[in-house]
Structure 1
Amino acid sequence: MAYDAAAERTVRSLVAAPPPRVAWPDAAKAVCILLVVLGHVTYLHVEESRWYAAAGAPPLWDLLDVVLRPVRMPLFFAVSGFFAARALTRPWRASVRGRVGQNLYLHVLWMLVGFGVALAVGIPTFMAPEHASGLPGAALTASTGLWYLYALAVYFVLARATRSWPAPVPTALAAALAVASFSGVLPGSGDTHSVLENLVWFLAGARFPEQVRRLSRRPRPLALLAVVVVLVAVLGAVRVLDLSRVPAAVLEIPTRAGAVVAGMLLAVLFVTWFPRAASPLLRLGRRTLPVYALHGLVLIVVQRPLAAVTEPLFGALPHPAQLLLVLVYPLVLTLAIAWCCLAAQTLAQRVGAGWLFALPTRRRSPALLVPPA
């Protein structure tokens, strides 16, 4: 039989090619980061927009925040853990730079950038402490809004260090840590507590990837409906019963677990049934870092100019029109800020400032690039 070099190359490329990227996690990450931005827009932009505050932020935003709080960051971390599952099997040297060093570098870098920008515009930001004396402590304790980057580094180290343990053991310990944090018995700021409370979801995604794959293999609309009904019933019962701190803290874990499952099922259903509508979300889901790192800075930079422009435009409108605007305006602003963040990353990469979004690599000496004789 004649040797077919082209066929052999094709076979080798198929064998060496990584498996195709699963779509639903990118859609889930995109929705989560947009919810993060939306939350900061609705609660921080009010301070400088008198017309927005006078119109009265509708109860919808408060209700949306309460309903989505159990899924927003837990689902984000569950997806991050799911993506990190394969890296846990590699040697430390092969993963520590990208999974640990880069996230710690970005955490400190963007905290310093945030501090400088806040100082320049005269508006405090959740991305950095107000005073320079607080920078070292914030870098070590993740007490700013950039805690997600810090948490990713710490979570990966813990997951990698406990990879030989049976998967339920570190996950259960992380759940107990989260309950202790929810109970208020541990010291620290709100952002530090967020680091303590979300380890369980990263470990769930990283240590149970096969279960996640089986659950997300196909759309399950009836399962999604059942989970949502149970979640609504539980959240309603919790609000009606007004439980004390400890029972409410214990309920946070199963409630958030159900919310994570519901988010996964909804993402799978959406990307399967509406692939064209999901396409922008998939692109955003692969580029959440610039949105997370930059959106707080964009918000404080445009906060006062936007207030100066919108006050004469919207302040004189009838109250019903203002109520409609406070429903639409945050959504438009959220999408605009996300677009600005992505555009800023693209510009940074074109002008050689890619180090703002990735740990710089050491350039090899030209002599090292010469193949050995």
Structure 2
Amino acid sequence: MKNKQLWINHIKGLCICLVVIYHSVITFYPHLTQLEAGLPEYTAKSWIYLNLYLAPFRMPVFFFISGFLITRYIESVKWRECMDKRIWNIFYVLVLWGVLQWLGISLINQWLAPDLVRNPTSNAAYSETLLQFATSMAKASTSLWYLYALVLYFVIFKSLHCYKVPVIIMLLGVNVAISFMPLPWWGMNSVVRNMCYYGMGAWFGPQLMTWMKATHFRQHPLLCTAVALLSVALYLVNVPVVISVVSIFVIMKLFYILDSWRESRSDAFLNIVGSNTIAIYTTHRIIIEALSLFMIGQINTDRISDNLLIAVLLVYPFVSLATCTLIGLGFRKLSRALWGDLFFTPPAKMVFAADKS
């Protein structure tokens, strides 16, 4: 990636870190049933609420950047050339890791929490039959719903790129409507809600990027204050779309300014993570399941001291993030070295590349 684009990759790195922290929190703190009132309970609830309030700042910018990076494919690349990289490659990883997560998480639950009752229809990874798994995957009820969305979004936005303005307006309206009339499947709910942000990046990303770079927010203090207050007010009445759009440009502006002060480096942590989002995204859910079930068992059975408990409650999401990042990056290297990147690259694509060379 060219240096002038590294700051965008850093945003991707931040987003995947927030995703890992999100899953670390929801699979751990709500299931600590034996916490005493006071500091332990307060710490756990603080992480839960912080996770909730970070929602408007996590996936919208992730999807906007994802859309922006494929603008050329949407506008000028023919369908035949898009099928491999933009559709088949992502679909392959979605199905493969859907199965691997299902098998891995099922084994982990049998090992660490055999008596724990899971709703088999709530997540494809908890399915008890192949039919349940296939149904959950079709409804996007999977921890891999981001990949599901990338395939669906690309097909939709490439097909409808001649109707940009009315479609975006409609999707913004759908985003508001779904806050009050959600779909029955949480995964599809997320897919539909975030579609407008991907579309903004895919269809209007270059223009919005140019506007963002040229705009100096400090020159418009009253307007910025009014927008900030409006976005917060709407968020408090369950309309997060405005604060999500604002957060996209605030985050991008911040990283762009930081890059202008000190040029982004290819060996920076966020760039390395941002260059390997798929590896971390696909592997982290299995790792988090094992970590959370083990720690929940230790805490709920009073096997750790009070002082250690406080330390664990304070830093668990960061330890989980570090663990998932290291294992995800390590597994990607292992996949490339031993299996020709089979776990992240379709065999047909590898054969095609070999024939081409």
Instruction: Using structure 2 for the length normalisation, give the TM-score.
Output: 0.82
SS of the residue aligned with 1:363? helix
Confirm or deny: 8 A CA contact 1:314 1:322 kept in the other structure: no
Map residues 248-267 of structure 1 onto 2, 5 A cutoff. Answer: 248=238, 251-267=239-255
Structure exhibiting the larger radius of gyration computed from Cα positions: 1
Confirm or deny: 8 A CA contact 1:107 1:139 kept in the other structure: no
Equivalent position amino acid for 2:56 in 1: P
Equivalent position amino acid for 1:101 in 2: W
Confirm or deny: 8 A CA contact 1:71 1:259 kept in the other structure: yes
| 1:170 Cα deviation after fit | 1.8
1:70 aligned residue (56, 62, 66): 56
Equivalent position amino acid for 1:259 in 2: S
Equivalent position amino acid for 1:292 in 2: Y
**Alpha-carbon separation, structure 2, partners of 1:138 and 1:223:** 49
Q: Out of 261-270 and 45-54, give the one that drifted further.
A: 45-54
SS of the residue aligned with 2:125? coil
Q: Hey, what does 2:204 align to over in structure 1?
A: 208
Equivalent position amino acid for 1:152 in 2: L
1:56 aligned residue (34, 41, 45): 41
Confirm or deny: 8 A CA contact 1:291 1:341 kept in the other structure: yes
Q: Deviations over 1:127-160 (max 9, x none)?
A: 6242223112122221111111010011001111
Q: Deviations over 1:309-329 (max 9, x none)?
A: 7889983234xx744542223
Q: Label 1:137 to 1:226 Cα distance change in 2 as closer, same or farther (>3 A).
A: farther
Q: Hey, what does 2:260 align to over in structure 1?
A: 272
Q: Hey, what does 1:291 align to over in structure 2?
A: 280
Q: Label 1:364 to 1:296 Cα distance change in 2 as closer, same or farther (>3 A).
A: closer
Q: Hey, what does 1:105 align to over in structure 2?
A: 92
| 1:37 Cα deviation after fit | 0.6
**Alpha-carbon separation, structure 2, partners of 1:113 and 1:317:** 37
Confirm or deny: 8 A CA contact 1:48 1:303 kept in the other structure: no
Q: Hey, what does 1:87 align to over in structure 2?
A: 73
Equivalent position amino acid for 2:54 in 1: L
Equivalent position amino acid for 1:64 in 2: L
Q: Label 1:69 to 1:120 Cα distance change in 2 as closer, same or farther (>3 A).
A: same
Q: Label 1:215 to 1:325 Cα distance change in 2 as closer, same or farther (>3 A).
A: farther
C-alpha RMSD over aligned residues: 3.4
Percent of residue pairs bearing the same amino acid type:
21
Q: Hey, what does 1:198 align to over in structure 2?
A: 194
Q: Deviations over 1:208-236 (max 9, x none)?
A: 12223314437957379889855763465
2:23 aligned residue (20, 26, 40): 40
Q: Label 1:212 to 1:369 Cα distance change in 2 as closer, same or farther (>3 A).
A: closer
Q: Label 1:364 to 1:27 Cα distance change in 2 as closer, same or farther (>3 A).
A: closer
**Alpha-carbon separation, structure 1, partners of 2:301 and 2:324:** 22
Q: Deviations over 1:38-86 (max 9, x none)?
A: 1111221236767878722524423422332112001100000000101
1:282 aligned residue (271, 275, 292): 271
Map residues 124-203 of structure 1 onto 2, 5 A cutoff. Answer: 126=123, 128-132=125-129, 133-165=131-163, 167-184=164-181, 187-203=183-199
| 1:193 Cα deviation after fit | 0.4
**Alpha-carbon separation, structure 1, partners of 2:103 and 2:35:** 28
**Alpha-carbon separation, structure 2, partners of 1:48 and 1:29:** 30
Q: Label 1:211 to 1:224 Cα distance change in 2 as closer, same or farther (>3 A).
A: farther
**Alpha-carbon separation, structure 2, partners of 1:259 and 1:221:** 13
| 1:263 Cα deviation after fit | 1.7
SS of the residue aligned with 1:143? coil
Q: Which runs of 4+ in 1 moved over 6 A?
A: 47-54, 223-228, 308-314
**Alpha-carbon separation, structure 1, partners of 2:224 and 2:310:** 29
Q: Label 1:353 to 1:332 Cα distance change in 2 as closer, same or farther (>3 A).
A: same
Q: Deviations over 1:182-219 (max 9, x none)?
A: 221x5331111000011100010011122233144379
Q: Label 1:91 to 1:273 Cα distance change in 2 as closer, same or farther (>3 A).
A: same
Confirm or deny: 8 A CA contact 2:123 2:136 kept in the other structure: no
SS of the residue aligned with 1:106? helix
Q: Deviations over 1:94-139 (max 9, x none)?
A: 1122111122221111111111112212266956242223112122
Map residues 5-16 of structure 1 onto 2, 5 A cutoff. Answer: none
Q: Out of 42-51 and 286-295, give the one that drifted further.
A: 42-51
Instruction: Using structure 1 for the length normalisation, give the TM-score.
Output: 0.79
Q: Deviations over 1:239-296 (max 9, x none)?
A: 7xx64xxxx3xx3222211121112112223333354689211121111001111100
| 1:30 Cα deviation after fit | 0.8
Q: Out of 218-227 and 96-105, give the one that drifted further.
A: 218-227
In structure 1, list runs of 5 or more residues that go unmatched. Answer: 1-17
Q: Out of 149-158 and 124-133, give the one that drifted further.
A: 124-133
| 1:90 Cα deviation after fit | 0.4
Are 2:336 and 1:349 equivalent residues in the alignment?
A: yes
